[in-house]
């Protein structure tokens, strides 16, 4: 944003897209688990793995961006009218996302069971998927506020 | 036929997730409160956040693996209610530590 190359913008878009991919896949797992049967067992397992893979991709790409590109944005935010976009929203996001990665990584482990025949495993998957969706929405919202923090910082330069 | 037993990896990595979540929050407090801790983490990988992530993820995988090897390789046993209580409490507590810390620290 603050004088970035097109590649940097693509990296940021990939980070967000994989995060949304994780969110969609997890909602899919949640709905399939509510209707768990022998017919959708394999699908639940595959989609839960896709959620984890998307989250790992979002984490690695976002981590690269955060370490190499974000310092320029951070300077803009801190000098602008919305310093809280970094001081609260980015600071919490960069650590909540580790929690999100843990949850998404655990999802396929919990979903490996036969959820139609095992109500205990089904409950665990529902809780983990629910927490993952909630946290994914929070971090997506954080990302939006951080982007606005840069925007208002640039507009008031 | 219904089965109510949880697989050993569900229990072991569920407990590891709860533990790693709380440690993640405590590590935030430690590095933000102590410049020496943050500098040490920065020195290890070049960026404190990279070190932070590696420590928490490493803890999750290591503890999950160790818990799965407990009881002669059968893994730890817990009821579903107990596992869910620990897992959800750990995640919520870990999140609240992070959000609470940055709410009051600035």
| Residue B1 within a domain | no
pTM of the shown model = 0.94
So what's the pLDDT on residue B105? 85
Residue B1 scores a pLDDT above 60:
no
| Residue B85 within a domain | yes
Cα of B80 to nearest chain A Cα, Å: 6
Residue A84 to residue A21: CA distance in whole angstroms: 28
Residue A108 to residue A48: CA distance in whole angstroms: 5
Tokens 């899919």 locate to: A28
Number of domains in chain B: 1
State mean pLDDT over B76-88.
Answer: 95
| Residue B74 within a domain | yes
Residue A128: closest C-alpha in chain B: B88
State mean pLDDT over B56-69.
Answer: 97
Cα of B40 to nearest chain A Cα, Å: 17
| Residue B3 within a domain | no
Kindly report the average pLDDT of chain A as a whole number. Answer: 95
Contacts of A121 (CB under 8 A, 6+ apart): A110, A113, A114, A115, B6, B7, B10
**Residues from chain A contacting residue B102 (CB–CB below 8 Å):** 87-88, 91-92
Domain ranges of chain A: 6-155
Nearest to B91 among A88, A91, A99 (CB): A99
So what's the pLDDT on residue A157? 77
State mean pLDDT over A151-155.
Answer: 94
| Residue B2 within a domain | no
Q: What is the pLDDT of residues B3-45, one digit of tens each?
A: 668 999 999 999 999 999 999 999 999 999 999 999 999 999 9
| Residue B13 within a domain | yes
So what's the pLDDT on residue B93? 98
Give the range among A69-73, A101-105, B14-18, B72-76 with minimum mean pLDDT. Answer: B72-76
State mean pLDDT over A57-68.
Answer: 96
Residue A18 to residue A2: CA distance in whole angstroms: 23
So what's the pLDDT on residue B5? 87
Residue A110 to residue B84: CA distance in whole angstroms: 12
Q: What is the pLDDT of residues A74-110, one digit of tens each?
A: 999 999 999 999 999 999 999 999 999 999 999 999 9
- What 3-state DSSP class applies to A113? coil
| Residue B89 within a domain | yes
ipTM of the complex model:
0.94
Distance of CA A49 to the CA centre of its chain: 15
So what's the pLDDT on residue B73? 86
Residue A4 scores a pLDDT above 90:
no
């Amino acid at each position: 944003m603050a004088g970035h190359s097109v590649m940097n913008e693509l990296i940021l878009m990939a980070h967000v897209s994989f995060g949304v991919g994780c969110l969609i896949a997890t909602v899919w797992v949640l709905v399939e688990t509510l209707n768990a049967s022998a017919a959708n067992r394999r699908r639940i397992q595959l989609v839960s793995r896709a959620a984890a893979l998307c989250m790992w991709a979002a984490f690695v790409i976002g981590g690269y961006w955060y370490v190499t590109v974000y310092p320029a944005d951070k300077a803009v935010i801190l000098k602008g009218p919305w310093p809280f976009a970094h001081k609260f929203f980015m600071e919490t996001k960069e650590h909540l996302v580790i929690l999100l990665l843990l949850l998404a990584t655990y999802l396929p482990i919990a979903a490996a069971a036969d959820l139609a025949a095992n109500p205990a495993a089904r409950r665990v998957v529902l809780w983990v998927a629910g927490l993952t969706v909630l946290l994914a929405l929070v971090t997506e919202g954080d990302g939006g506020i951080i982007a606005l923090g840069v925007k208002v910082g640039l507009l008031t330069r | 036929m219904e089965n109510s037993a949880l697989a050993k990896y569900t229990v072991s990595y569920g407990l590891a997730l709860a533990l790693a979540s709380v440690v993640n929050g405590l590590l935030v407090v430690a590095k933000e409160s102590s410049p020496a801790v943050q500098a040490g983490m920065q020195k290890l990988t070049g960026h404190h956040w990279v070190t932070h992530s590696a420590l928490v993820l490493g803890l999750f995988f290591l503890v999950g693996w160790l818990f799965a090897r407990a009881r002669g390789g059968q893994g730890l046993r817990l009821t579903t209610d107990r596992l869910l209580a620990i897992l959800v409490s750990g995640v919520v507590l870990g999140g609240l530590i992070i959000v609470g810390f940055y709410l009051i620290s600035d």
